[in-house]
Structure 1
C-alpha cells in the first residue's frame, strides 16, 4: 500500500547565492531595456521625451524590483525529498506548492545556464505524468543538484510505480 502524500511546507531552502543570481538576471534584463530606450532616445529626436519618460519609468520600477524580488523569492522557494514524494514551493507574488509522488516520477534532469554556472548553481527538473507539468527546483548548489538527481533516480528505481 502506498503512503499517503499530503501538501505541506517543504523544509529545505535554496542556496543563498540564488539571491545574487536572480538579482544579476534582473540587472541584465533591466540593463537591456535601459540601453535600448536610451539608444532610441538618442537616435529618434521627435520621440525623445516619450522615450526618456519610458526609460525613467523602467528604472523607477526595475531597480526596486531587482532588489526586492530576489530577497522575497529566496524566502519563498523551498524543496524537500522524502521516501514518498518530492515537495516544492516556488514563486514570488503567485506562489505554487507542488508534490510529486515517487511512483509518478518519469525523469529527473539537471540544467545549468551560463549565469547559473557563474554562480555555481543548478536547477533540478522532476517530470511526471501530471498535466500541470514538471516540478523545478531552482537555485541549488551544483553539487547538491547532482546529488539530488542521483538520489531521486535511486529512489524512483527502487519504487517501481506506474509513473502515469
Structure 2
C-alpha cells in the first residue's frame, strides 16, 4: 500500500467548516423552535418535538465540534510529476490517483465562507470526473493550480 500523502489543507479549514456547521445547526434549532410553537399552540405530539430537539443537539455537537477536526486530520494530498494523490474520509478513507495526462483543466473556487478565512479550493477536472482539494490558503491554491496546469501541459507535450 502507498504511503499517506504529505501535504495538508489549511488549518483554517476547521474554522470554515465549523461556521458551516453553525449554519446547519441553526436551521435545525429553528425547526425545533417551530415544533415547540406547534406543540404549545396546536397540541403537536411532544415526542416529535423532543426527537427534533435531540437530533438538533446531536447534530450541533457533530457538525460544530467533532466532524471539522476529524475531516481536517484526514484530508491529505500530494502532487507528483505523473499524478495527483488525494486522500480523505472520516469513516471510509478514499484514496484517489488522478493521472496528469488525464487532467483537462484546473480551477480555484471560493465561496463567501472560504473568502472570510482567505481560503480557496482547487478543482481538477478530467473527462470522467472532477476532484477537489478544499480549503487551501489563497496563495497556495493559486500556486497549486498553476503547478498542476504546468505538469499536465508537460505530459500532453510528451505524448
TM-score (normalizing by structure 1): 0.85
Aligned pairs, number: 156
Residues 31-89 of structure 1: CA distance to partner in whole angstroms, max 9, x if unpaired? 11111221242145311623431332123311320211111111100011111111111
CA distance in 2, matches of 1:16, 1:136: 17
What is aligned with 2:10?
A: 15
**Structure 2 stretches lacking a partner, 5+ long:** none
What is aligned with 1:156?
A: 152
Q: Describe the SS at the equivalent of 1:19.
A: helix
CA distance in 2, matches of 1:67, 1:28: 13
Is the 1:109–1:126 contact (alpha carbons within 8 Å) kept by the matching residues of 2? yes
CA distance in 2, matches of 1:21, 1:114: 10
Residues 141-161 of structure 1: CA distance to partner in whole angstroms, max 9, x if unpaired? 111111111111111111117
TM-score (normalizing by structure 2): 0.88
Is the 2:28–2:56 contact (alpha carbons within 8 Å) kept by the matching residues of 1? no
Runs of 4+ in 1 over 6 A off after TM superposition: none
